[in-house]
Structure 1
Protein backbone atom coordinates (compact mmCIF):
# COMPACT_ATOMS: atom_id res chain seq x y z
CA UNK A 1 0.00 0.00 0.00
CA UNK A 2 1.11 3.55 -0.74
CA UNK A 3 -0.23 6.60 1.03
CA UNK A 4 0.20 10.36 0.79
CA UNK A 5 -1.24 13.43 2.43
CA UNK A 6 -2.83 15.84 -0.02
CA UNK A 7 -1.34 19.29 0.48
CA UNK A 8 -2.17 21.96 -2.07
CA UNK A 9 0.90 24.11 -2.78
CA UNK A 10 1.17 26.41 -5.79
CA UNK A 11 2.44 24.65 -8.87
CA UNK A 12 2.43 20.98 -9.83
CA UNK A 13 3.48 18.31 -7.32
CA UNK A 14 3.50 14.51 -7.70
CA UNK A 15 2.07 12.91 -4.55
CA UNK A 16 2.38 9.16 -4.97
CA UNK A 17 2.31 6.48 -7.64
CA UNK A 18 3.32 3.05 -8.79
CA UNK A 19 3.97 1.42 -12.17
CA UNK A 20 0.29 1.67 -13.18
CA UNK A 21 -1.00 5.01 -11.83
CA UNK A 22 -0.04 8.29 -10.22
CA UNK A 23 -1.60 11.13 -8.22
CA UNK A 24 -0.56 14.80 -8.22
CA UNK A 25 -1.84 18.19 -7.15
CA UNK A 26 -1.88 21.35 -9.20
CA UNK A 27 -2.55 24.84 -7.87
CA UNK A 28 -2.90 27.70 -10.34
CA UNK A 29 -2.97 31.32 -9.17
CA UNK A 30 -5.75 33.67 -10.35
CA UNK A 31 -5.15 34.59 -13.99
CA UNK A 32 -2.62 31.78 -14.44
CA UNK A 33 -2.65 28.69 -16.62
CA UNK A 34 -0.89 25.37 -17.15
CA UNK A 35 -0.43 23.62 -20.47
CA UNK A 36 -1.26 25.13 -23.84
CA UNK A 37 -2.32 24.32 -27.39
CA UNK A 38 0.57 21.87 -27.86
CA UNK A 39 0.47 20.31 -24.35
CA UNK A 40 -0.51 16.63 -24.31
CA UNK A 41 0.26 13.36 -22.59
CA UNK A 42 1.04 10.86 -25.32
CA UNK A 43 1.12 7.89 -22.98
CA UNK A 44 -1.36 8.60 -20.17
CA UNK A 45 -4.97 9.50 -19.48
CA UNK A 46 -5.46 12.31 -16.93
CA UNK A 47 -8.39 12.55 -14.55
CA UNK A 48 -8.62 16.10 -13.14
CA UNK A 49 -10.81 16.79 -10.09
CA UNK A 50 -11.41 20.41 -9.03
CA UNK A 51 -11.14 20.71 -5.26
CA UNK A 52 -11.77 24.47 -5.18
CA UNK A 53 -11.68 27.57 -7.34
CA UNK A 54 -13.00 28.34 -10.80
CA UNK A 55 -11.53 28.11 -14.25
CA UNK A 56 -11.77 26.45 -17.60
CA UNK A 57 -10.26 23.51 -19.41
CA UNK A 58 -9.43 23.93 -23.08
CA UNK A 59 -9.33 20.40 -24.51
CA UNK A 60 -8.74 19.87 -28.23
CA UNK A 61 -9.77 23.49 -28.83
CA UNK A 62 -13.07 23.23 -26.90
CA UNK A 63 -13.58 25.19 -23.67
CA UNK A 64 -15.26 23.63 -20.63
CA UNK A 65 -16.06 25.39 -17.33
CA UNK A 66 -14.40 24.18 -14.12
CA UNK A 67 -15.71 24.64 -10.58
CA UNK A 68 -15.42 22.81 -7.27
CA UNK A 69 -16.63 19.23 -7.70
CA UNK A 70 -15.97 19.03 -11.47
CA UNK A 71 -14.31 15.84 -12.73
CA UNK A 72 -12.76 15.83 -16.22
CA UNK A 73 -11.13 13.03 -18.21
CA UNK A 74 -8.38 14.27 -20.52
CA UNK A 75 -7.52 11.29 -22.69
CA UNK A 76 -4.01 10.47 -23.86
CA UNK A 77 -3.18 12.56 -26.89
CA UNK A 78 -5.74 15.32 -26.11
CA UNK A 79 -4.19 18.78 -26.25
CA UNK A 80 -5.12 20.73 -23.14
CA UNK A 81 -4.68 23.86 -21.07
CA UNK A 82 -6.12 24.55 -17.60
CA UNK A 83 -6.86 28.21 -16.82
CA UNK A 84 -7.77 29.91 -13.56
CA UNK A 85 -10.52 32.43 -14.32
CA UNK A 86 -11.47 32.99 -10.68
CA UNK A 87 -10.31 35.23 -7.86
CA UNK A 88 -8.80 32.47 -5.70
CA UNK A 89 -6.35 29.63 -6.36
CA UNK A 90 -7.64 26.84 -8.61
CA UNK A 91 -6.81 23.61 -6.75
CA UNK A 92 -6.94 20.28 -8.59
CA UNK A 93 -6.21 16.66 -7.77
CA UNK A 94 -4.98 14.73 -10.81
CA UNK A 95 -4.66 11.04 -11.55
CA UNK A 96 -2.57 9.67 -14.43
CA UNK A 97 -2.93 6.18 -15.87
CA UNK A 98 -0.20 5.07 -16.44
CA UNK A 99 2.11 7.56 -14.71
CA UNK A 100 2.98 10.62 -16.79
CA UNK A 101 5.68 12.18 -14.57
CA UNK A 102 8.75 11.30 -12.56
CA UNK A 103 8.55 11.79 -8.79
CA UNK A 104 10.22 15.17 -9.35
CA UNK A 105 7.57 16.32 -11.83
CA UNK A 106 9.42 15.81 -15.12
CA UNK A 107 7.25 14.38 -17.90
CA UNK A 108 7.91 10.76 -18.83
CA UNK A 109 8.10 9.67 -22.46
CA UNK A 110 5.10 7.56 -23.60
CA UNK A 111 5.31 3.96 -22.39
CA UNK A 112 8.16 4.54 -19.90
CA UNK A 113 6.74 4.54 -16.32
Structure 2
Protein backbone atom coordinates (compact mmCIF):
# COMPACT_ATOMS: atom_id res chain seq x y z
CA UNK A 1 0.00 0.00 0.00
CA UNK A 2 1.12 3.54 -0.74
CA UNK A 3 -0.42 6.76 0.50
CA UNK A 4 0.30 10.38 -0.30
CA UNK A 5 -1.36 13.71 0.40
CA UNK A 6 -1.50 15.71 -2.81
CA UNK A 7 -0.46 19.37 -2.66
CA UNK A 8 -1.50 20.50 -6.13
CA UNK A 9 1.37 22.96 -6.36
CA UNK A 10 2.06 24.59 -9.73
CA UNK A 11 3.34 22.31 -12.48
CA UNK A 12 3.45 18.55 -13.04
CA UNK A 13 4.38 16.16 -10.26
CA UNK A 14 4.33 12.35 -10.17
CA UNK A 15 2.68 11.17 -6.94
CA UNK A 16 3.77 7.52 -7.22
CA UNK A 17 3.70 4.39 -9.36
CA UNK A 18 2.67 0.84 -8.59
CA UNK A 19 3.16 -2.11 -10.89
CA UNK A 20 1.56 -0.93 -14.12
CA UNK A 21 -0.14 2.34 -13.15
CA UNK A 22 0.94 5.82 -12.12
CA UNK A 23 -0.72 8.84 -10.50
CA UNK A 24 0.35 12.45 -11.05
CA UNK A 25 -0.97 15.91 -10.30
CA UNK A 26 -0.87 18.76 -12.78
CA UNK A 27 -1.62 22.40 -12.05
CA UNK A 28 -1.75 25.02 -14.80
CA UNK A 29 -1.94 28.77 -14.23
CA UNK A 30 -4.45 30.83 -16.23
CA UNK A 31 -3.37 30.92 -19.88
CA UNK A 32 -0.79 28.12 -19.47
CA UNK A 33 -0.85 24.84 -21.37
CA UNK A 34 0.79 21.44 -21.26
CA UNK A 35 1.59 19.63 -24.49
CA UNK A 36 1.09 20.68 -28.10
CA UNK A 37 0.03 19.25 -31.44
CA UNK A 38 2.92 16.73 -31.28
CA UNK A 39 2.46 15.66 -27.63
CA UNK A 40 1.40 12.05 -27.24
CA UNK A 41 2.17 9.08 -25.03
CA UNK A 42 3.37 6.25 -27.21
CA UNK A 43 2.29 3.39 -24.97
CA UNK A 44 0.21 4.85 -22.13
CA UNK A 45 -3.41 5.85 -21.71
CA UNK A 46 -3.93 9.03 -19.66
CA UNK A 47 -6.99 9.39 -17.45
CA UNK A 48 -7.38 13.08 -16.56
CA UNK A 49 -9.78 14.18 -13.79
CA UNK A 50 -10.42 17.89 -13.21
CA UNK A 51 -10.26 18.63 -9.48
CA UNK A 52 -10.92 22.37 -9.94
CA UNK A 53 -10.78 25.08 -12.56
CA UNK A 54 -11.71 25.29 -16.22
CA UNK A 55 -9.90 24.67 -19.45
CA UNK A 56 -9.94 22.91 -22.76
CA UNK A 57 -8.29 19.72 -23.96
CA UNK A 58 -7.48 19.42 -27.64
CA UNK A 59 -7.26 15.72 -28.51
CA UNK A 60 -6.54 14.75 -32.10
CA UNK A 61 -7.75 18.21 -33.15
CA UNK A 62 -11.06 17.95 -31.25
CA UNK A 63 -11.68 20.51 -28.48
CA UNK A 64 -13.16 19.17 -25.24
CA UNK A 65 -14.24 21.60 -22.49
CA UNK A 66 -12.86 20.87 -19.03
CA UNK A 67 -14.48 21.86 -15.72
CA UNK A 68 -14.55 20.55 -12.16
CA UNK A 69 -15.67 16.92 -12.20
CA UNK A 70 -14.76 16.20 -15.84
CA UNK A 71 -13.09 12.84 -16.49
CA UNK A 72 -11.29 12.51 -19.82
CA UNK A 73 -9.42 9.50 -21.20
CA UNK A 74 -6.67 10.28 -23.69
CA UNK A 75 -5.72 7.01 -25.32
CA UNK A 76 -2.15 6.08 -26.16
CA UNK A 77 -0.78 7.76 -29.28
CA UNK A 78 -3.51 10.45 -29.32
CA UNK A 79 -2.02 13.92 -29.81
CA UNK A 80 -3.16 16.27 -27.08
CA UNK A 81 -2.81 19.61 -25.33
CA UNK A 82 -4.36 20.74 -22.02
CA UNK A 83 -4.94 24.51 -21.65
CA UNK A 84 -6.21 26.56 -18.73
CA UNK A 85 -8.82 28.96 -20.12
CA UNK A 86 -10.11 30.15 -16.75
CA UNK A 87 -9.10 32.81 -14.24
CA UNK A 88 -8.04 30.38 -11.51
CA UNK A 89 -5.63 27.44 -11.37
CA UNK A 90 -6.61 24.34 -13.36
CA UNK A 91 -5.91 21.36 -11.07
CA UNK A 92 -6.00 17.84 -12.48
CA UNK A 93 -5.32 14.37 -11.17
CA UNK A 94 -3.90 12.09 -13.86
CA UNK A 95 -3.48 8.34 -14.06
CA UNK A 96 -1.23 6.68 -16.62
CA UNK A 97 -1.44 3.05 -17.65
CA UNK A 98 1.33 1.96 -17.91
CA UNK A 99 3.52 4.55 -16.12
CA UNK A 100 4.73 7.26 -18.50
CA UNK A 101 7.13 9.33 -16.35
CA UNK A 102 9.97 8.93 -13.88
CA UNK A 103 9.96 10.58 -10.46
CA UNK A 104 11.28 13.82 -11.99
CA UNK A 105 8.45 13.98 -14.55
CA UNK A 106 10.58 12.94 -17.53
CA UNK A 107 9.03 10.52 -20.07
CA UNK A 108 10.12 6.88 -19.68
CA UNK A 109 9.33 3.36 -20.82
CA UNK A 110 6.56 2.39 -23.19
CA UNK A 111 4.50 5.39 -22.11
CA UNK A 112 7.10 7.98 -23.12
CA UNK A 113 6.11 10.73 -25.50
CA UNK A 114 6.77 10.19 -29.16
TM-score range (shorter-chain normalised) is over 0.9
Superposition deviation, residue 19 in structure 1: 2.7
CA distance in 2, matches of 1:84, 1:100: 22
Instruction: Report the equivalent of 1:64.
Output: 64
Instruction: Report the equivalent of 1:99.
Output: 99
Instruction: Report the equivalent of 1:109.
Output: 109
- Runs of 4+ aligned residues of structure 1 deviating over 3 Å after TM superposition are none
Residues 92 and 76 of structure 1: CA distance in aligned 2, closer, same or farther (over 3 Å): same
Superposition deviation, residue 5 in structure 1: 1.0
| 1:55-99 C-alpha deviation (Å, 9 max, x unpaired) | 000000000000000000000000000000000000000000000
Instruction: Report the equivalent of 1:55.
Output: 55
Q: Please, which runs of 5 or more residues in structure 1 have no aligned partner?
A: none
TM-score (norm 2): 0.95
CA distance in 2, matches of 1:32, 1:107: 20
The count of aligned residue pairs is 112
- Whether contact under 8 Å (2:99, 2:111) holds in the other structure is no
Alignment of 1:1-113 (within 5 A): 1-110=1-110
CA distance in 1, matches of 2:51, 2:111: 29
TM-score (norm 1): 0.96
Residues 111 and 95 of structure 1: CA distance in aligned 2, closer, same or farther (over 3 Å): closer
Q: Please, which runs of 5 or more residues in structure 2 have no aligned partner?
A: none
Structure 2 residue matching 1:99: 3-state secondary structure:
coil
